[in-house]
């Protein structure tokens, strides 16, 4: 086996200056991708294109059928941009995928010498080690902040740990990709003890980060990796003592780290015991069902890349009780939904072709390397079944394509490889820069649009509405900018009563609705405009539709109550406010309630009577294991003076899910003797205040009262949705002026 690993199949080593120049270009691309560094004008991509043209002239690619299918997928992703439901999101994915394709073909062309490959892999491992050191420091800062506030369980607060700016699930999945590069590099550098020691140190850092990710999917995939490594060691032709030693150094750091965080690791391994785990599994199942329904509507080519959360929004994320996420339940459902049957078939052909390449290896070295890389690809496929990273991360795509390119470069030539004529190769080489130029042009347009959109948002915040209109008018008429134009025109109408702006607002909003039928907030906004036009029947029809289809949406219930109340239909309005109080009890203590409900004794008495009827039902829910419901109903009981039962429900909610912020605040209002204890935890979770001194200064500054006065009336995720769907920001600032919106 040692002889196989150290066999070199090529001797045409590149000249040193060219070698280092190319490696630096590739390492820069790797760093940009793995660190998720924004390259809005695709400048690094331009460097890759130029380098690909240069290196392919000196080192032509030995094309295989795999390369042709990969180019077909790339062209299909371009086709998806043209026919996507949201062109900006699909374009950004195409730009990311193009970057990975360029990286892949550079390795296919440039890294045909084993010494270049070894140097490149070692450089990637050093970058991985530095990232893990940064993540390590970030973890201990996170751990100390949790312990300073008085919490001991890290698992419940893992969402606050953001290594290198990543979500923990994303970072954990990326760590599994790092294992493939590290293991392959250790194999290539096996004879250098100092290099192996360095790589083993980085390997330990990666294992530590995997353990503290506290992710079920990452743990499951890592277990499969460990089993594969142990099997490789056991069946390796060497002495038993060496096998035992290899397994020992593989498992020792893992066992140590698991013992250090024993309780959190055990909690993670329970898989379906905690409330958050149960909600996660249930949410995945519901998302799979929703995505299947969307797939049936567009089965051939899908809805377009990066549109998953948008197209299932009206089936899931209009419910206040369901937390919004931009991720699909797994990559396979995302692929089927976004790229349809055509995309699934092409990707399947790609995988089958790779299997044929591996099976036909007759050279011991290429057969060994192919099987090692294929094993890591299978590990990543398992990971994609638990968390979708490949179609959402440039870093993951870069790593996968790097491993595949190395596999193909050192695979023995067979009848599935061929050479294009010079004319065809030149056409391919010309097509890359032409496509790159198109990406740069579109990126420049998008960047310019975002510049003016940002200026418009700033102007709106300063109430310079005509200045905001001037900036947003310079953007192209794509969905996010149509929405913002509509909102700005509507805001000008509310301040000037100039109906021309109301007409413009309605015109742009209808254009946006035609482009995106899944964004229900646009229909809600249309109802508000119709209400301003005094077309009350039409506005009421839309709101009735929204509240009927999405009964657990607080905003729609609020608007429906407000409209019916203004029309004098008090009895019809009452159920909507009762529902709103159940969904968002904070409405009871708001200024809206004080000036609109309490000031009207008739509606106030009727509401309180209806709410008191529900108190018995609410007390029965004390037996529920849903911490969200316990927290909401506990606050309702507190508002009606049932402090004893309220305390029981709130305490139970925090026992089940201690990372909920507002129950700590409610308990501080019930128990004066422990007020600071509860407030400290609330302000850490809600305001990220880490020390008692920070809490004291915050309370003394008067900002606490201001924050309570201006807190959200109910859950509202639209700003996050807008950014994920449209890759832009909205001027729709409901948090600041929602009550004035609904009163017009």
Q: Mean pLDDT per segment of 10 residues, for the chain of length 744 residues?
A: 45 53 92 91 90 81 84 93 91 95 92 89 96 95 88 88 91 94 92 92 96 93 93 86 90 94 90 70 81 88 92 88 87 93 94 88 82 92 92 94 91 58 67 88 94 94 92 94 94 90 94 92 92 91 94 90 88 88 81 76 78 66 71 83 85 88 89 86 84 81 79 77 92 56 44
pLDDT at residue number 201: 95
Distance from chain centroid for Cα 488: 29
Residue linked to tokens 């609330």 = 682
Conformational region of residue 271, where left means phi above 0, alpha means psi within -120 to 50, and beta covers everything else: left
Q: Cβ(634)–Cβ(663) under 8 Å?
A: yes
Cα 230 to Cα 236, 326, 567, 683, distances in angstroms: 10, 36, 73, 47
Q: Cβ(219)–Cβ(159) under 8 Å?
A: no
pLDDT at residue number 412: 65
Alpha helices by DSSP H, listed for 304-421, are 308-311, 313-316, 331-359, 364-386, 394-409
pTM of the model: 0.90
Which of these, 716, 289, 722, 263, lies nearest to 480 by C-alpha position?
722
Round to whole Å and give the CA distance between 593 and 590. Answer: 5
Q: Cβ(680)–Cβ(149) under 8 Å?
A: yes
pLDDT at residue number 63: 77
């Amino acid at each position: 086996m040692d002889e196989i690993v150290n066999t070199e199949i090529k001797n045409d080593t590149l000249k040193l200056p060219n070698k280092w120049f190319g490696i630096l270009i590739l390492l820069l691309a790797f760093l940009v991708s793995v660190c998720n560094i924004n390259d809005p004008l695709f400048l690094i991509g331009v460097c890759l294109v130029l380098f690909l043209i240069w290196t392919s002239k000196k080192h032509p690619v030995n094309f295989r059928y795999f390369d042709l299918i990969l180019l077909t997928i790339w062209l299909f992703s371009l086709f998806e941009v043209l026919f996507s439901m949201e062109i900006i999101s699909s374009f950004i994915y195409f730009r990311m995928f193009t970057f990975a394709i360029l990286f892949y073909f550079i390795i296919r062309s440039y890294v045909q010498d084993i010494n270049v490959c070894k140097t490149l892999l070692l450089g990637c491992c050093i970058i991985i080690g530095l990232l893990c050191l940064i993540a390590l420091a970030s973890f201990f800062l996170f751990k100390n902040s949790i312990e300073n506030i008085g919490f001991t369980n890290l698992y419940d607060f893992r969402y606050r740990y953001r290594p290198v700016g990543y979500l923990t699930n994303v970072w954990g999945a990326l760590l599994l990709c790092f294992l493939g590069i590290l293991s392959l590099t250790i194999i290539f550098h096996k004879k250098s003890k100092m290099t192996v020691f360095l790589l083993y140190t980085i390997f330990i850092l990666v294992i530590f980060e995997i353990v503290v990710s506290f992710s079920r999917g990452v743990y499951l995939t890592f277990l499969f990796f460990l089993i594969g490594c142990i099997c490789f060691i056991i069946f390796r032709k060497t002495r038993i003592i060496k096998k035992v030693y290899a397994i020992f150094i593989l498992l020792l750091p893992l066992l140590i780290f698991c013992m250090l965080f024993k309780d959190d690791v055990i909690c993670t391994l329970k898989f379906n015991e905690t409330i958050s785990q149960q909600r996660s599994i249930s949410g995945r199942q519901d998302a799979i069902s929703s995505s299947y329904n969307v797939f049936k509507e567009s089965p051939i080519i899908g809805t377009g890349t990066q549109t998953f959360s948008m197209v299932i929004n009206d089936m899931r994320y209009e419910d206040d009780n369901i937390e919004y996420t931009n991720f699909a339940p797994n990559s396979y459902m995302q692929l089927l939904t976004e790229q349809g049957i055509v995309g699934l078939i092409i990707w399947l052909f790609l995988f089958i072709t790779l299997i044929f390449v591996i099976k036909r290896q007759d050279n011991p070295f290429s057969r060994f390397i192919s099987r090692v890389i294929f094993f890591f690809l299978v590990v990543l496929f398992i990971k994609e079944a638990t968390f979708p990273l490949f179609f959402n991360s440039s870093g993951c795509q870069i790593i996968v394509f790097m491993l595949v390119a190395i596999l193909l470069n050192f695979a023995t030539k067979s009848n599935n490889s061929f050479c294009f004529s010079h004319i065809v190769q030149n056409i391919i080489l010309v097509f890359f820069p032409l496509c790159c130029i198109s990406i740069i042009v579109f990126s420049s347009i998008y960047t310019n649009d975002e510049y003016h959109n940002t200026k418009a948002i700033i102007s709106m915040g300063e109430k310079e509405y005509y200045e905001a209109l001037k900036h947003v008018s310079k953007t192209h008429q794509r969905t996010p900018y149509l929405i913002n134009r509509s909102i700005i025109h509507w805001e000008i109408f509310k301040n000037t009563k100039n109906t021309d702006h109301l007409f413009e607002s309605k015109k742009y909003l209808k254009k946006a609705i035609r482009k995106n039928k899944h964004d229900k907030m646009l229909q809600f906004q249309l109802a508000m405009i119709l209400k301003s036009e005094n077309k009350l029947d039409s506005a009421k029809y839309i709101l009735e539709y929204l509240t009927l289809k999405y009964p657990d949406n607080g905003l729609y219930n609020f608007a429906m109550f407000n409209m019916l109340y203004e029309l004098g239909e008090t009895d019809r309005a009452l159920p909507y406010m009762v529902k709103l109080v159940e969904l968002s009890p904070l409405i009871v203590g708001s200024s809206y309630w004080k000036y609109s409900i309490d000031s009207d004794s008739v509606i106030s008495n009727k509401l309180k009577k209806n709410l008191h009827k529900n108190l018995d039902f609410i007390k029965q829910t004390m037996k529920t294991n849903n911490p969200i419901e316990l927290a909401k109903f506990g606050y309702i009981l507190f508002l009606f003076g049932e402090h004893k039962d309220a305390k029981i429900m709130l305490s139970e909610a925090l026992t089940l899910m201690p990372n909920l912020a507002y129950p700590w605040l409610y308990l501080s209002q019930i128990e004066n003797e422990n007020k600071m204890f509860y407030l400290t935890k609330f302000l850490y979770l809600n305001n990220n205040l880490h020390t008692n001194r920070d809490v004291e200064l915050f309370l003394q500054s008067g900002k606490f009262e201001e924050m309570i006065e201006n807190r959200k009336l109910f859950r509202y995720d639209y700003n996050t949705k807008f950014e994920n769907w449209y890759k832009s920001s909205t001027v729709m600032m409901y948090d600041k002026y929602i009550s004035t919106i609904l009163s017009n």
